[in-house]
Structure 1
Amino acid sequence: MKSWMIYEKIQELKRHKLNKSQTSKALGIDFKTVNKYWDMPPDDFAIARQNAGCRRKKADIYKEYVVECLQKYPDMTAAQIYDWIKEQTGKKDLEFQERAFRNYVAAIRKEYDIKKPEHTRQYEATEDPPFGKQAQVDMGEIILETASGRSKKVYCFGMVLSNSRQKYGLWREKPWTTRSFIEAHIKAFEFFGGRPQEIVYDQDKVLAVSENHGDIIYTDEFQVFKETIGFSVFLCHGADPESKGRIENVVKYLKHGFAEHRIFEDIDSFNEACIAWLERTGNGKVNETTKKIPAEVFALEKEYLIPVSEYGFEKPVNESITYQVRKDNVVLFHSNRYRVPKGTYSKGKKVYMITEGGEVSIVDASTGEIYATHPISAGKGELIGSATNDYREKSQSLKELEADVLSKFNDSESAGKFFDELYHQKQRYYRDQLQIVKKLFLEYDGRFINKALSYCLERDIYSAVELKSATAYLFSFEADKNKTEKPGKVQLPEKYRGGSPEKRDLRIYEDAMKGGAMNG
């Protein structure tokens, strides 16, 4: 109806002897639209309107995936789905612009009646400080789904340069301590190539003990760090969003633009994905407030940052003392027994007991692997920690386990390449990765696993979890390919109903839409 009205108004102004430019200005529409309809007869316009309703949209090759995302996560933004498509296809640019994609997602929401929850908060605009003057820091947390289907809380650190809006994010599996908070600063300074003059913080126990009318008492370790590095601190008052609005938006962006709805595998790969997202999206897209690309402005601001010398931590006093892991997988420490995962024990196994912030971490003396972290008990003779079935098959050597898994593949050379790279990328988790693949052969026919291996190698994907997801997809694809949906009813394909969607390359959808989907 709206298009008919525009067409009629164009024709009316044409009859009143206005030219195309005058008509465009009078109606407030693009000149190309006026030129398109200027000499078009009414019958041709009606046919064009009918054809437009049937015309295929460029984003339709991803429609199945868009519906899947919105059905699973109604609060998901079009921008995040757009970014996920780019990430999973490996494409730097898509066939359509993000602005057009927002309209496409809005139409999908209307078609499937998927409403987006609304949240509102009021802010007041503030002036941008000069280059190199200020950064803002804050922390957040979010609960994610793991590859095993469980829920896991992860914690983020965010820093943003107030002028350029260049952002940095870091994630960890445990709440922030003063030491880890300082380490995050050091990594942020390395990422930016220097530090600002001032950093804005919210009031938090990891950096300040108390704040009494301007007399700030910092934690001892943060006080030493601040004085050594030399930056000044601006500590926000409570309920003062204007002072730290930029970083609040960044933490929200990290949580809901990057992390939300992702499947958590391990913290290292999660942080790697976050840095890639910052380069691709967080710092690579136009900022809605400044209307500039942060990375481009940062190219100027980084010249104003102050170089930071290497900062060293004092070695914990109790890290020089080793403790024995007992046969019942406990460590005796200060007259209490602290559990480690079942299977940790081996003859001569030594660990360090690192205490910090009321907790003790049990760390392998040789590899540095953290076996467990427990609250420090003030009692005597207590057994600390819950029983676990996390048996890691320590009795079987890693090489034997690897050889066993490799022998199950048809192409041992290709499998060897996959596991060599997997070991290089995830050395700390290599045994667990092998166990996932070993169990995979108990759950699926080998032909699906071998096809999934080829799929991963072609796309440089080195993860046992991704191999499992690809195997499950290929299996479900063959199971569903002969099934048809009932006509007249809009619904998801059967493989997407219920359960957790696997992360997979969206080029599968493109091939499917073109009639060239892979055969089972």
Structure 2
Amino acid sequence: MDKWKMYMEIQQLIKQGFSKTKVAEKLGVSRSTVYRNLEKSPSEMAGWVESLKTRSKKLEPYKELILSWLREHSDMSAAQVHDWLQEKHEDLKIGESTVRSFVRELREEYQIEKVTSPRDYEAIPDLPMGEQIQVDFGHTKQKTHDNRDEKLNFIAFVLANSRYKYKEWLDRPFTTQDVIRAHENAFKWFGGIPRELVYDQDSLIVVSENGGDLILTKEFQQYKETRKLNLYVCRKADPESKGKIENVVGFIKHNFAKHRVFHNIDSWNEQGWRWLNRTGNYKVHNTTKKRPVEVFSLEKQHLRPITKDIDLINNYEHSITRSVHKNNTIRYLSNRYSLPLGTFNKFENVCIKETEDKELIIYISQTGEIIAKHKIPEGKGQLVKDRKHSRDRTKGVGAFIDTVTNQFTDKELANHYLETLREKYPRYIKDQLQIILRETKENNENILSAALSECIKRNLYSATDFSDIVSYLKRQRRVDDTTTDNDQMVAPLNKTSGWVMETEAQKRKVDTYTDILEGDAV
């Protein structure tokens, strides 16, 4: 409607005794528009209307772009136009009322009518902060870049007090596991858990109402108990109980998803989360007249904190346990399945779960940590082994030698000795290293260094020889300590170590044996 003509009609209706609300209803404008017009005198109104003819509009540079959207999508709302402008031009700062006025003028000028389908809602009093999150599902059909129709599904969450929102999309139907994962992501997004969650009667969550005693799906029941959730499920044909989330579902469909081109699910979710920050949680709410993000800064303080992370794969099935055998395997359906080396020494039992894809998942019940995955074979009596569960026999020896070398003061000499053992005992090198490592843990550096020097000096390249020399040195040190205490220390006859005298065999000349054989010796 022409602004001057509207001004005159408002003045006439007021003079006829109509209230400002009735005037707004008759002319199809807002009450604030009526108030603004009544504040102006005829001369002020005339001057303002004249100034509009020469004043450039802020959205004029975007006129053709907005027109192309309205012509292609005649049912497009001004709010969605505002969001698309912000998405394409992040630096554009403009109010929604300006966009709404500009879109209305374009529709009138170019005769683009808007198709609407109004729906009635009943007002529900606001709940206390942190009291409730409402949850619901929705789906849309989106055009792809090659003009195909792609059906997308989403789950939406909204905090009842602040109207702060979260949503997650899939390009396939949701499973109960998907719903549980979405809940975990939502709780992280909100930074906590409310006192109550409100749902519709979705088959992924609820099996039966059972006269008020809800029977949940097995997985969701386990999740409910793990997170200690308090659930409220709406009765059939009772949309008023979750009117807030129904509004959110409609908002997502008509403001975010409508007319948007789908490329892939990852980029679609990324666009959706940016939309939440830009519009969904930032735009002033029509009912509360506040930005959800600002109210949420207070409401999140009333949420129950998330005390621990839970495993999303295994925590929702009743555990099936299997004993770990000493060869690091378990038995399941007449087959053996390998576990990482060392599992037997750490755990007596593990939990298992068979997936729909015939895969066996093996995990630790206390932590939910997955330690092995195997494809379940067709036959029986088989050993199903993951190659990663075997020893790396080349890399392991080198690492083992480095570990033992580091126990000695002279690492270069120790490494030379151990590498020689590796060449001499290639099949038993780990056993050799294990014997020496045991000695390094039980003795001090002085004894180890002395034993290493004596072994190399005497060309004794064997772990058992090394262990014997260590034992002798320890005995000799005890003897030396005793004699020192009694002041009875005996000086050696020569510089040769005493242990050599004890162990060296008596030597005779060859002639002695010849005389014995010939019978000359007495």
- What is the TM-score when the length of structure 1 is the normalising length? 0.54
CA deviations on 1:270-317 (whole Å, 9 max, x unpaired) are 111111111111111110011111001100000111112212134599
CA distance in 2, matches of 1:299, 1:149: 41
Aligned to 1:511: none
Pairwise mapping of residues 241-256 of structure 1 onto structure 2 (< 5 A)?
Answer: 241-256=239-254
CA deviations on 1:238-260 (whole Å, 9 max, x unpaired) are 11111010001111111211111
Q: Does 1:310 align with 2:316?
A: no
Q: Secondary structure at the match of 2:286?
A: coil
Q: Does 1:263 align with 2:264?
A: no
CA distance in 2, matches of 1:136, 1:37: 53
How many residue pairs end up in the alignment?
302
Further displaced range: 249-258 or 179-188: 249-258
Q: From the superposition, tell whether residues 361 and 73 of structure 1 become closer, same or farther in structure 2 (CA, over 3 Å).
A: farther
Q: Secondary structure at the match of 2:241?
A: coil
CA deviations on 1:376-401 (whole Å, 9 max, x unpaired) are xxxxxxxxxxxxxxxxxxxxxxxxxx
CA deviations on 1:330-362 (whole Å, 9 max, x unpaired) are xxxxxxxxxxxxxxxxxxxxxxxx955xxx699
Aligned to 2:234: 236
Aligned residue type for 2:212: G
Deviation at 1:33, TM superposition (A): 6.0
Aligned residue type for 1:179: Q
Aligned to 1:59: 59
Q: Secondary structure at the match of 1:213?
A: helix
Aligned residue type for 1:61: P
Q: Secondary structure at the match of 1:61?
A: helix
Q: From the superposition, tell whether residues 114 and 8 of structure 1 become closer, same or farther in structure 2 (CA, over 3 Å).
A: closer
CA distance in 1, matches of 2:125, 2:358: 44
- Aligned counterpart for 2:168 among listed residues 139, 163, 170: 170
Contact 2:10/2:34 (8 A) holds in 1: no
Query: RMSD of aligned C-alpha atoms?
Result: 3.1
Aligned to 1:218: 216
Q: Does 1:37 align with 2:47?
A: no
Pairwise mapping of residues 405-484 of structure 1 onto structure 2 (< 5 A)?
Answer: none
Q: From the superposition, tell whether residues 9 and 196 of structure 1 become closer, same or farther in structure 2 (CA, over 3 Å).
A: closer
CA deviations on 1:463-506 (whole Å, 9 max, x unpaired) are xxxxxxxxxxxxxxxxxxxxxxxxxxxxxxxxxxxxxxxxxxxx
Aligned residue type for 1:65: L
Q: Does 1:158 align with 2:152?
A: no
Q: From the superposition, tell whether residues 143 and 113 of structure 1 become closer, same or farther in structure 2 (CA, over 3 Å).
A: same
Pairwise mapping of residues 59-458 of structure 1 onto structure 2 (< 5 A)?
Answer: 59-91=59-91, 93-94=93-94, 97-308=95-306, 309-315=308-314
Aligned residue type for 1:69: W
Contact 2:81/2:99 (8 A) holds in 1: no
CA distance in 1, matches of 2:126, 2:9: 47
Q: Secondary structure at the match of 1:307?
A: coil
Deviation at 1:101, TM superposition (A): 1.4
Deviation at 1:7, TM superposition (A): 7.8
Aligned residue type for 2:176: T
Deviation at 1:168, TM superposition (A): 0.3
| Structure 1 residue ranges without an equivalent (≥5) | 11-26, 318-353, 363-520
Contact 2:3/2:49 (8 A) holds in 1: no
Deviation at 1:157, TM superposition (A): 0.8
- What is the TM-score when the length of structure 2 is the normalising length? 0.53
Contact 2:198/2:234 (8 A) holds in 1: yes
Contact 2:136/2:157 (8 A) holds in 1: yes
The percent identity for this pair of structures is 43
Q: Secondary structure at the match of 2:158?
A: strand
Aligned residue type for 2:272: C
CA distance in 2, matches of 1:37, 1:361: 82
Aligned residue type for 2:70: L
| Structure 2 residue ranges without an equivalent (≥5) | 12-32, 318-353, 360-522
Contact 2:140/2:253 (8 A) holds in 1: yes
Q: Which runs of 4+ in 1 moved over 6 A?
A: 7-10
Deviation at 1:5, TM superposition (A): 7.9
Contact 1:160/1:247 (8 A) holds in 2: yes
Contact 2:7/2:37 (8 A) holds in 1: no
Q: From the superposition, tell whether residues 267 and 5 of structure 1 become closer, same or farther in structure 2 (CA, over 3 Å).
A: closer
Aligned residue type for 1:3: W
Q: Secondary structure at the match of 1:159?
A: strand
CA deviations on 1:193-215 (whole Å, 9 max, x unpaired) are 11101000000100011112212
Contact 1:7/1:37 (8 A) holds in 2: no
Deviation at 1:36, TM superposition (A): 8.7
The structure number with the bigger radius of gyration is 2
CA distance in 2, matches of 1:119, 1:32: 32
Deviation at 1:111, TM superposition (A): 2.1
Contact 2:166/2:186 (8 A) holds in 1: yes
CA distance in 2, matches of 1:198, 1:221: 19
Q: Secondary structure at the match of 2:300?
A: helix
Contact 2:137/2:154 (8 A) holds in 1: yes
Aligned residue type for 1:87: E
Q: From the superposition, tell whether residues 213 and 30 of structure 1 become closer, same or farther in structure 2 (CA, over 3 Å).
A: same
CA deviations on 1:127-181 (whole Å, 9 max, x unpaired) are 1111111000001000111122211111111000000100001111111110000
CA distance in 1, matches of 2:9, 2:187: 60
Aligned residue type for 1:313: L
Q: Secondary structure at the match of 2:240?
A: coil
CA distance in 2, matches of 1:191, 1:287: 20
Deviation at 1:231, TM superposition (A): 1.4
